[in-house]
Amino acid sequence: MEAAAVAPVALLPAGVPLLLLLALSTLIITRWRWNNRNSRLPPSPMALPLIGHLHLIRSPPHRALDRIVARYGPLVYLRLGPSTHCVVVGTADAARDLLKHEASFPERPITVVTRHLAYDDAGFAFAPYGPHWRFMKRLCMSELLGPRTVDQLRPVREAELAAVLGAARQAAARGERIDVSRHLISMSNNAIMRMVASALPGHMTEAARDCAKRVAEVVGAFNIEDYVGFCRGWDLQGLTRRTREVRDKFDALLETMITAKEEKRRRRQQEQGETTTTTTNNNNNDDLLDILMDAAEDKNSEVRLTRENIKAFVLDILTAGSDTTATSVEWMLAYLINHPACMDKLRAELDAVVGASRLVGELDVPNLPYLQAVFKETLRLQPPAVFAQRETIEPVHVRGYVIPPKTSVFFNIFSIGRDPGWWEDPLEFRPERFMPGGAGAGVDPKGQHMQLLPFGSGRRACPGMGLAMQAVPAFLAALVQCFHWAVPIPQGQSTAPPLDMEEEAALVTARKHHLILIPTPRLNPLPATAT
């Protein structure tokens, strides 16, 4: 092994000029062919040899792309590495014009990391557009994340919220500060895990939470193999090794979950005296895994789900629905603390609509317009997922430009939400803009209004948006209803500074620094239940 590793190193100095010459020649030929075929590309910054525009993508990347589109226009062509071609969409109008041609870019690009995690394309998030994807979409919207299932699993979310409120109450009784970020992450991860598998033991919940965190880290990391072809297979950054490790750990966990569920279902069938396989019936379902296994056992289904399909889909749900919930609640609370007048308005609405005798719940959200406005304004400024990425399968003619096939299209949701063409003072936190009479009145985040796309739009829009729009505002409302939240005063200062709003560079754009606050009970005693 050592000799094999040393040999290339000994030849490297003499071979470097030849490798560079070959790479440069390939680049020139590829670029000539590309430009010859596609002479009407969108505007582009000056590129460097070999790396293209990679040097412009500083951390965090969504802010780097925001600066690029501000300078070069709403559609910008970038080359990331020698042959990875991209177009960045940075305004609501450009997004609308491009989405008119959505049939020409129905795919999501799959990276080296996501290919390992998604069992190639067995899941839903990165599955090719076709019969399997359409079946999974229908299953997701009608069963897995449909209104009936979301409502059925509401007690799971309420139990996890109660644990956060209990921790805050204990900290308040001791006069201590609390790491709100840590508790929100635990709440959202536990809730999504128990929605997937309701009877999961505590130690397995912890293991799943650790896996989900590691998945987010590797998916959100820059991987040179995705952009420089001759680096593919070398694993220069160790990302492939780390991905395989977390995938194997997650696979073992999922196998345990599925095996336990199979045994439980067999016992149930024996107790009921059944001799045939149960078909899909939500009345007998305990959780999302039950629904998936019912679909897999349905002999009349147009698509038969395999064990790998189930594992990949569960992994999709866990990684997409955990940290995003915590991040949204965290940003909302931080913005309200920095804007006390908005906090007072929300509390007044909660007192008027819900009162002090019971805990605000998900069913109250439709009757709390200012709460919904706070949620929308937070999603506009701090969308949990800052990009929506697609890939063209044929040429797209838009705004006088031609976007060639096999081009990645990045909808920079961060830039679109701050588009000054649609929003007055777009960097300001103003929930009132979504209230009656405001510029955003009637605008919702479900993908129909291009100026607000936190869940994406079209065929590949997030299927969990209904759950998020119901659960996330309710979590925030309970924290605001039950407690006053104060920023600790640093030693040597007389007043607390405003909370910093710096972002972490990751797959989900959480706050860079944990939200450490001092809770004081606002209601005594705290209400125990919601309606």
Check whether 429 has a pLDDT greater than 80.
Answer: yes
Average pLDDT score over residue span 335-351: 98
β partners of residue 88: 76, 410
β partners of residue 115: none
Check whether 5 has a pLDDT greater than 90.
Answer: no
Contact assessment for residue 69 and residue 88, using Cβ atoms and an 8 Å cutoff: yes
Check whether 415 has a pLDDT greater than 80.
Answer: yes
Average pLDDT score over residue span 161-178: 96
Rounded CA-CA distance 17/333 in Å is: 56
Q: To the nearest whole percent, how much of the chain has pLDDT over 90?
A: 62
Rounded CA-CA distance 171/516 in Å is: 12
More confident residue, 483 or 10: 483
- 39 — pLDDT class (breaks 50, 70, 90): low
- 269 — pLDDT class (breaks 50, 70, 90): confident
More confident residue, 114 or 401: 401
- 124 — pLDDT class (breaks 50, 70, 90): confident
Q: How far is CA 374 from CA 136, 249, 474, 523, in A?
A: 32, 38, 12, 22
- 286 — pLDDT class (breaks 50, 70, 90): confident
Average pLDDT score over residue span 274-282: 47
Contact assessment for residue 204 and residue 249, using Cβ atoms and an 8 Å cutoff: no
> Residues comprising the binding site for heme?
462
Report the greatest alpha carbon distance in the chain. Answer: 79
Average pLDDT score over residue span 444-463: 94
Both tokens of 386, joined, read: 């800052």
Task: Specify the pLDDT at position 4.
Answer: 34
Check whether 7 has a pLDDT greater than 70.
Answer: no
- Which DSSP category does 507 fall into? S
Q: In what order do the strands lie in the sheet with 387-391?
A: 75-80, 84-89, 408-412, 387-391
Check whether 336 has a pLDDT greater than 60.
Answer: yes
More confident residue, 10 or 250: 250
More confident residue, 19 or 392: 392
Contacts of 275 (CB under 8 A, 6+ apart): none
pLDDT tens string 301-325: 888 899 999 999 988 888 787 788 9
Residue among 230, 232, 182 nearest 209 (CA): 182
pLDDT tens string 474-529: 999 999 999 999 999 998 888 999 999 999 877 788 899 999 999 999 998 888 75
Check whether 281 has a pLDDT greater than 80.
Answer: no
Check whether 14 has a pLDDT greater than 70.
Answer: no
What are the backbone angles phi and psi of residue 486, rounded to the nearest 5°? -120, 145
What are the backbone angles phi and psi of residue 140, rounded to the nearest 5°? -65, -45
Task: Specify the pLDDT at position 311.
Answer: 93
> Residues comprising the binding site?
462
- Which DSSP category does 435 fall into? S
Check whether 17 has a pLDDT greater than 50.
Answer: no
Check whether 331 has a pLDDT greater than 90.
Answer: yes
Task: Specify the pLDDT at position 245.
Answer: 94
Check whether 52 has a pLDDT greater than 70.
Answer: yes
Task: Specify the pLDDT at position 122.
Answer: 86
Contact assessment for residue 396 and residue 105, using Cβ atoms and an 8 Å cutoff: yes
Both tokens of 415, joined, read: 């830039």
Q: How far is CA 296 from CA 135, 200, 290, 300, in A?
A: 12, 21, 10, 10
Q: To the nearest whole percent, how much of the chain has pLDDT over 70?
A: 89
Rounded CA-CA distance 415/74 in Å is: 10
Mean pLDDT over each residue of the chain, to the nearest integer: 87
